[in-house]
Amino acid sequence: MTTKNTLGKAAAVVLMAALVSACSSNAAKEEAAAQAAAERAAAEQAVAAEAAAAEQRAAEKEKAMRMAEKREEKRRLMDAASAAGSVFYFDYDSSTLSDGARAAIDAHVALMMADGGNVRLEGHTDERGTREYNLALGERRANAVRDYMVASGVPSYKVETISYGEENPVAYGSGESSWSKNRRVEIK
Amino acid sequence: MLLRVSIIVFGLCFSFNALAQLEIQVTRGIDNPTSIAIAPFAWDGLGAAPEDFAQIIDSDLARSGQFSPVSRRDMLSLPTRAEDIFYRDWRAIAARYLVIGRVSKDAQLRVEFALYDVERGIQLFSSQVVGPEFEARMIAHRVADAIYEKLTGIQGAFATRLIYVSVTRNPDGKDFYRLTVADADGQRPIVLLEGRDPILAPSWSPDGKEVAYVSFESSRPAIYRQVLSTGAREQLTNFRGLNNSPVWSPDGKSMALVLSKDGSPDIYLLDLATKQLTRLTRHYAIDTEPTWMPDGKSLLFTSDRGGRPQIYRYTLATGKVERVTFEGRYNARARVAEDGRNVALVHQRDGRFHVAVFDLITERMTVLTETSLDESPSIAPNGSLVIYATKRGERSVLSAVAVDGGVKFSLPARSGSVQEPAWSPMLFSW
């Protein structure tokens, strides 16, 4: 009995040991599996990150290209505006925009729509007539340019007008050759 | 922004004299000016006399064009008291009238003077003018005023002042502006404001103690008022658009001015005490250059509501607007004489811009000038002369012409341009 008991005990121990060893071997397997899963996940993550990075790089590249295009477009618009000139001339006692002036202002409008910039329009007259009436006439000229810009889509708050009347001539001396240069609106 | 408001202290502005000084040249007098001799005045004070009083009076009367003063070199005697006068000395040099005088000084300067009719050998008038020594020149001008009035029946306007804008070109090619006040003979110029930004439309308060003007110093036009004696100034308007043409009402309580904040330029009334702003005209055309009728009940102004600039009248009580000028394509910047009848304005004829006088009663337009780029006429407070700016080459110079077209003189500056003259009202205090 004792032996049987002992044997039984031994058997139980062996069984336990086997069980334990079986258990321990299960845990190791699980650990390995988990590790593998983690490795897979990491690998997947790495792939995903790689993909995301690639996507971002692509996006950045595209953005940079778009910016470059925009810059290019803006440069083109600036060139066009600068080629169009920033001074528009008027007939005597008139605030009517010439076709040439309209085309030139169109170039400035395109630039303003692209870059959202503000402008200051300075109206001027020649020396003939009275100074205070000429201030009003210079304002009327600046307003004619402003109204054309606003009609072309520029928000009115982006256009400031000011008149100097006959106070700031670019050409001194009396005569039509000077006067025609002074009857103007300047974009600043 | 280069800008300085000068505190005005008489006699402390020598540095500006060379630049702002005007010289007077009579270019046309009347046919038979009256011969008058102003004997040098006696000086009863210590040291040298502060001014050559007789010389100042002499120049004033000569500038009127109505008198031809006798040269001191031709005088045979130099009396300073009645008992020293020998009429034959003056008849011999064909002087029609004689003025003698004495100047004494205690706390104030006292100029005693008398006017004699040489032909009849009698004294016509004697009087005295008393004032502070630093106003010695003004005291002399008042003596000239009294003599002028006695002989012509018209109040003299020699003891008055001018404000004007002088413009000089800096070496960098930029214009430099100075708002200057000077005596009516161009002497004693004092700079009120200077800087690189345009100054225009100066006008006087009716008491002659303040000026209003437009300055672009804030990079936009704004209206300011400034006290002459202290230099203290106040910005009155700084609206979007035009802020222009400030003119004091005759009672000094309000100012008519031009704003375009509500669209097109219109005439507004600013109550100077409450700062309340009332819109007077309401038209999509240009309404500008207001000027008060002397009774303060209506304003004249320039409007192109008829297609071309013409003078219109606005009546305050009714708000009614009526057209005043019809002759010519361009009539602008009116200024009304104290008589409420003569209106000086800029009138275009044959493409040239002249100063003309329009008579509100007969509706007659009389062109006073032959030059072609005249502007900014301003009438002397006695109604006798119109001062205005005109072009001489590339420079603007001041000229004056009698309202009756007779006398004419110019006031060129030594350098630069002078423009926008405004003649002060009669000045009753020093």
Per-residue pLDDT band for B8 (boundaries 50, 70, 90) equals very low
Q: Which of A18-22, B67-71, B375-379 has the lowest mean pLDDT?
A: A18-22
Give contacts of B419 with chain A, Cβ < 8 Å.
131
Specify the pLDDT at position B141.
Answer: 98
Q: What is the pLDDT of residues B295-307, one digit of tens each?
A: 999 999 999 999 9
Are B279 and B266 in contact by the 8 Å Cβ rule? The answer is yes
Specify the pLDDT at position B118.
Answer: 97
Output DSSP code: residue B71.
P
Specify the pLDDT at position A44.
Answer: 86
Specify the pLDDT at position B68.
Answer: 93
Residue A76 has pLDDT above 70, yes or no: yes
Q: Is B405 on the interface with A (CB under 8 A)?
A: no
Give dist(CA B312, CA B316) in Å, integer. 13
Residue B262 has pLDDT above 60, yes or no: yes
ipTM (interface predicted TM) = 0.88
Which residue is listed with tokens 């000139």?
A: A85
Q: What is the pLDDT of residues B341-364, one digit of tens each?
A: 999 999 999 999 999 999 999 999
Specify the pLDDT at position A24.
Answer: 56
Centre a 10 Å sphere on the Cβ of residue B331 and count the other Cβ atoms it contains.
25
% of residues, chain B, pLDDT over 70: 95
Specify the pLDDT at position B11.
Answer: 32
Give dist(CA A65, CA A77) in Å, integer. 18
Residue of A94, A95, A135 to mutate, testing the B interface (most B Cβ within 10 Å of its Cβ): A135
Give dist(CA B30, CA B24) in Å, integer. 17
Residue B4 has pLDDT above 50, yes or no: no
The DSSP-derived string for B280-323 is ----SS-EEEEEE-TTSSEEEEEE-TTSS-EEEEEETTT--EEE
Give dist(CA B6, CA B191) in Å, integer. 7
Are B213 and B170 in contact by the 8 Å Cβ rule? The answer is no
Residue B17 has pLDDT above 70, yes or no: no
CB spacing of B373 vs A127 below 8 angstroms: yes
Residue A9 has pLDDT above 90, yes or no: no
Q: b vs e for A27-55, b when ≥16 Cβ sit within 10 Å of the residue's Cβ?
A: eeeeeeeeeeeeeeeeeeeeeeeeeeeee
**CA A188 vs CA A86, A142, A154, B216: distances in Å:** 8, 12, 16, 16
CB spacing of A130 vs B394 below 8 angstroms: no
The mean pLDDT value for B6-21 works out to 40
- The token pair at A112 is 């303003």
Length of chain A: 188
Specify the pLDDT at position B14.
Answer: 36
Length of chain B: 430
* CB-closest option in A129, A162, A165 to B220: A162
Give dist(CA B352, CA A129) in Å, integer. 9
Contact partners, residue B141, CB within 8 Å, separation at least 6: B56, B60, B156, B158, B159, B160, B183, B184, B185
Residue of A nearest to B201 (CA): A132
Specify the pLDDT at position B300.
Answer: 98
Q: What is the pLDDT of residues B140-154, one digit of tens each?
A: 999 999 999 999 999
CB spacing of A133 vs B288 below 8 angstroms: yes
Residue B320 has pLDDT above 50, yes or no: yes
The mean pLDDT value for B104-117 works out to 96
Specify the pLDDT at position B28.
Answer: 72
Residue A52 has pLDDT above 60, yes or no: yes
Q: What is the pLDDT of residues B123-181, one digit of tens each?
A: 999 999 999 999 999 999 999 999 999 999 999 999 999 999 999 988 888 899 999 99
The answer for B 141-200 residues in CB contact with A (under 8 A) is 175, 198, 200
CB spacing of B375 vs A164 below 8 angstroms: no
Q: Could you tell me where the DSSP H helices lie in A85-118? A: 99-115
SS3 state of residue B328: coil
The answer for A 119-178 residues in CB contact with B (under 8 A) is 127-133, 135-137, 139-140, 161-165, 167-168, 172-174
CB spacing of B391 vs A136 below 8 angstroms: no
Per-residue pLDDT band for B9 (boundaries 50, 70, 90) equals very low
The DSSP-derived string for A52-92 is HHHHHHHHHHHHHHHHHHHHHHHHHHHHHHHHH-SEEE--T
* CB-closest option in B241, B260, B332 to A130: B332
Residue B419 host element (H or E): strand B417-423
Specify the pLDDT at position A10.
Answer: 55
